[in-house]
A and B are shown apart, each in its own frame.
Chain A
Amino acid sequence: MLILVDASSSVSLAGQIGAQVRAGIVTGALRQSERLPPARDLAESLGVNMHTVLRAYGALRDEGLIEMRQGRGAWVASDASPALVRVTELANELMVEAQKLGMSRLEILGLIEGK
């Protein structure tokens, strides 16, 4: 899997890394349970701060796409799938649009549960 980051992009470096890992899961370049490179190693490869990679990994973990364990690294979740990536992207879009309208998290949740 290829990961490219552009320091001049308006998208954060962590966001770029996260997006490409998501794309890797969608295209099948990253398989379920496949090990991701250690954060320190990936940071050195891309010439970015290790905390940037950890921030990207943390976001992917929160989305349920990867799992992380202290001392054991990160790997693609066994139930990560293109469908999960798509739902996560839609949820992120919903959050952004709703926040633009000034809606609180509780109001967004209420909107979803009301459906």
Chain B
Amino acid sequence: MAQRQQSDVQRDAVAAAVSWLPLIAVVATWLFWRSLLPAEVASRFGSNGEVTSTLPTLLLVGVAAAVCFIAASVGTASANREMPASERRRTFLIAGVSSGLTAAIWIVLAAIAVAAPAGAEPTMGGWGLFAPLAGIFGLVPYFIAAKTRVDLSGPSRPEMQLTEHQSGVWIETVDVSLFAWMAVAALAAIVTLVVVVPIDQGGLESRVTLGVFLVIFLGSVALARLRVRIDSRGLRIVSALMPLLRKSIPLGTIREARTEVLEPANWGGWGYRVAPGRSALLLFAGPGLTVDLMNGKIFSLSLRDPETPAALINGIKTTSLGPNAR
């Protein structure tokens, strides 16, 4: 495996350091609140908000600290091991989601126990939403950690030489772990919202929040696995999990294809992005396929190896139009 660059090692070290924040938060809140905390804290709540079970405070903080410690250790170990950058980032993500969720559960349960008036039962209120959302913390070390270096040293407009007797198709299933995890997180939030704040009691605000999470969930599921096909008919992208969601660009509307490094920062984020004169399916930062259309617009798609599909599109265009057509 190639030697990692110094800047990548530094990024991974920072990501590893950030992975310890949930543990620090657990220990700090324990030290700060321990004189105020009861021996047992409420751990489950009924549909009317009443406490249905409790856990010993020491057990809860101990388990939370242990989970956060293990997650941070795994993240730190991955920073020092030789492995593909994508695998290291995934480790940081999973470790961060686990420790973020665990720390948030402890902090929420401890905070409502501390905030409860003397002699009264603690109430969860809207704090229940905070715990699943805290899983998003996993994205912090994920984005800090070094990304896979993109080598686009080849021609930005590659072309495959095809004879008139040849035909070709390029097919690829693109799995996007970021959207898969977002779908899981959104589903967790929906379940929490339905269980902790039943809709019939939550009012309009809860319904709107539920609707937002539902949209995030469906959008993430749609983009979690895509099937891409390029042939003489053009470019077609279909959501593998929601096949009705598809995008087709006929070959006749494509002027040429090229490879390009796609940065979500330049597109305002991930997912299906639309800007004047251009649109894109940003699945990750890195290499991508860009097609210039006859109408002057462009469409970009994140792909791990965009050279082959770009070369095929250009090759088919040349073959179908004749060598002097360009």
Binding between chains A and B: yes
Q: Which residues of A line the B interface, CB within 8 A?
A: 1-9, 34-35, 37, 41-42, 44-48
State whether the Cβ of B170 lies closer than 8 Å to any Cβ in chain A: yes
A1 B172 Cβ-Cβ under 8 A:
yes
B167 A35 Cβ-Cβ under 8 A:
no
- B4 CB to closest chain A CB, in angstroms? 23
The DSSP consensus for interface residues of chain B is: strand
State whether the Cβ of B163 lies closer than 8 Å to any Cβ in chain A: yes
B231 A6 Cβ-Cβ under 8 A:
no
B168 A8 Cβ-Cβ under 8 A:
no
Name which residue of chain B comes closest to A3, CB basis: B169
A35 B173 Cβ-Cβ under 8 A:
yes
- A94 CB to closest chain B CB, in angstroms? 31
A4 B171 Cβ-Cβ under 8 A:
no
In the complex, A27 Cα to B169 Cα: how many Å? 17
Q: Which residues of A contact B246 (CB under 8 A)?
A: none
Q: Which of A3, A35, A41 contacts B168 (CB 8 A)?
A: A3
A6 B173 Cβ-Cβ under 8 A:
no
Q: Which residues of A contact B240 (CB under 8 A)?
A: 35
Q: Which of A6, A9, A37, A44 contacts B171 (CB 8 A)?
A: A37
In the complex, A7 Cα to B233 Cα: how many Å? 19
A6 B229 Cβ-Cβ under 8 A:
no
Q: Which of A8, A35, A42 contacts B169 (CB 8 A)?
A: A42
State whether the Cβ of B35 lies closer than 8 Å to any Cβ in chain A: no
Q: Which of A4, A5, A34, A37 contacts B229 (CB 8 A)?
A: A37
State whether the Cβ of B221 lies closer than 8 Å to any Cβ in chain A: no
State whether the Cβ of B232 lies closer than 8 Å to any Cβ in chain A: yes
- B228 CB to closest chain A CB, in angstroms? 11
State whether the Cβ of B326 lies closer than 8 Å to any Cβ in chain A: no
- A4 CB to closest chain B CB, in angstroms? 4
A-facing mask of B214-247, CB < 8 A → 1, else 0? Answer: 0000000000000101011100000010000000
B169 A6 Cβ-Cβ under 8 A:
no
A1 with B170, Cβ < 8 A, contacts A45-B232, A45-B233, A47-B232 known: yes
Q: Which residues of B contact A45 (CB under 8 A)?
A: 167, 169, 229, 231-233
B165 A8 Cβ-Cβ under 8 A:
yes
B163 A3 Cβ-Cβ under 8 A:
no
State whether the Cβ of B97 lies closer than 8 Å to any Cβ in chain A: no
- B257 CB to closest chain A CB, in angstroms? 14
Q: Which residues of B contact A5 (CB under 8 A)?
A: 166-168
B171 A7 Cβ-Cβ under 8 A:
no
Q: Which of B168, B173, B227 has the most CB of A within 10 A?
A: B168
Q: Which residues of A contact B165 (CB under 8 A)?
A: 6-9
- B164 CB to closest chain A CB, in angstroms? 9
Q: Which residues of B contact A37 (CB under 8 A)?
A: 169, 171, 229
- B12 CB to closest chain A CB, in angstroms? 26
In the complex, A5 Cα to B169 Cα: how many Å? 9
Name which residue of chain B comes closest to A47, CB basis: B167
B312 A2 Cβ-Cβ under 8 A:
yes
Known pairs A4-B162, A35-B173, A45-B167; list 16 more (Cβ under 8 Å).
A2-B308, A3-B171, A4-B168, A5-B166, A5-B167, A6-B163, A6-B165, A6-B166, A7-B165, A7-B167, A9-B165, A41-B229, A45-B231, A45-B233, A46-B167, A46-B169
In the complex, A8 Cα to B162 Cα: how many Å? 12
